[in-house]
Amino acid sequence: MIEVLKFYADWCTPCHVLSPIMDEIEKELGAKVTIKKIDVDADNNTAMKYGVLSIPTLVLIKDGKEVDRIVGLASKEAIQSKLSPHLA
């Protein structure tokens, strides 16, 4: 299972564009992926822990370790291609 930490802020337009894409991915992959949404304004400590400097940022976690990250707005296909190697 992959945990995706989605760092966002309410005022971030690209973050709002990314939300339905992540919802689709979560529906399609079901139990293979969990998405945890982290508001950088409300939880700045977690953002600092992961070195998040830009939003949106997706941090992919497998077995408790970061395996990849995507910074900025990405297409559904680009996100899926980053997730795929870690789902097996």
User: Catalytic residues, which ones?
Assistant: 12, 15
The phi, psi pair for 66, rounded to 5°, reads -70, 125
Tell whether omega for the bond before 56 is within 30 degrees of 0, i.e. cis: yes
Q: Are strands 33-39 and 65-71 parallel, antiparallel or unpaired?
A: unpaired
* CA–CA separation, 14 and 82 (whole Å): 19
Asked if 72 and 13 touch (Cβ cutoff 8 Å), the reply is no
